[in-house]
Amino acid sequence: MIKPGSIPDQPKKPVLQRKEFSDNFTFSFQYFKQIQYFEIGGVNNSWYISLIERLKELCSKNWQDFEKSVLEKRSLRYHEINWGSTNVPITRGDLNWIDKAYLENEDDFPIIQFHVSRALGRVVGFWDAYHVFQIVLLDPKHNIQPSKYNDYKVDDTYFMSCEYSSLLIDLKKIQNKISAGCSCPTCLEVKKLPSKLNLTNLLIAHLDDSYIQRMHELNVSPEHVVEIGLLNI
């Protein structure tokens, strides 16, 4: 039998104060997309490790100190994109999947690049309203701002698909065949979708940054928000 008072007090867990902005670099892929000249198919696996290591390294840096350091910016090839440079293959307006509040406010939300390494291309994105660096494009071929070093050449790239995007492409092809009047067994089966025989508790939705920030402030999960909403209908 354990006597009262014989168990030592357990150390209290540290309490972290939630901040409106992080002091260190924080990254998001919310606006990431592959487009012509900025696709990542065929890139060597070691490139992805280099990318992750670069992002990891930056996550340990204080972004305010970094912004003041000319030396660190120069070392990282960190600068705003000059859309008027020679042979830049896209315009800012081509990034039309970004929220208009960001896309149409170039002064407050300039598009920025920094390198993975001198030989391994660039990361392209912008600082959002919560000072999260939103990664928009990955540029392993150095296409975003061609240089005199390689005669301002823009290299071709090709799309890398995942299982989800590959499935969407397959379904799109079948949908086009159905629209053209195809009556093969596969198209006839797909035409019956959704069957509604495979119901799950999955809900896909998009929330603006302001809602996500508000949930963080209230320390609630999306599931909790949906539950409260349903209970109050």
Residue 197 binned pLDDT confidence (cut-offs 50, 70, 90): low
pLDDT mean over 27-54? 91
Residue with tokens 């003041």: 68
132-175 pLDDT, tens digit each: 999 999 999 999 988 777 777 888 888 877 666 667 777 778 77
Give CA–CA dist 136/28, Å, rounded.
9
Arithmetic mean of pLDDT over the chain: 82
Phi, psi of 28 (to 5 degrees): -140, 145
Residues near 114 by beta carbon (within 8 Å), at least 6 away in sequence = 76, 77, 78, 122, 123
Domain boundaries, the chain: 27-150, 161-198, 200-233
Long-range interactions of 107-112: CB distance < 8 A, separation 24+: 110/80, 110/81, 111/80, 111/81, 111/136, 112/78, 112/79, 112/80, 112/81
Q: Which of 14-28, 71-85, 159-173, 213-227 has the highest mean pLDDT?
A: 71-85
Residue 182 has pLDDT above 80, yes or no: yes
pLDDT mean over 11-19? 58
Nearest to 26 by CA among 128, 95, 109: 128
pLDDT at 15 (0 to 100): 57
Which bin fits 196, alpha (ψ -120 to 50), beta or left (φ > 0)?
left
* Selected residue with higher pLDDT from 55 and 161: 55
Predicted TM-score (pTM) of the model is: 0.66
Give CA–CA dist 58/75, Å, rounded.
13
pLDDT at 33 (0 to 100): 94
pLDDT at 221 (0 to 100): 75
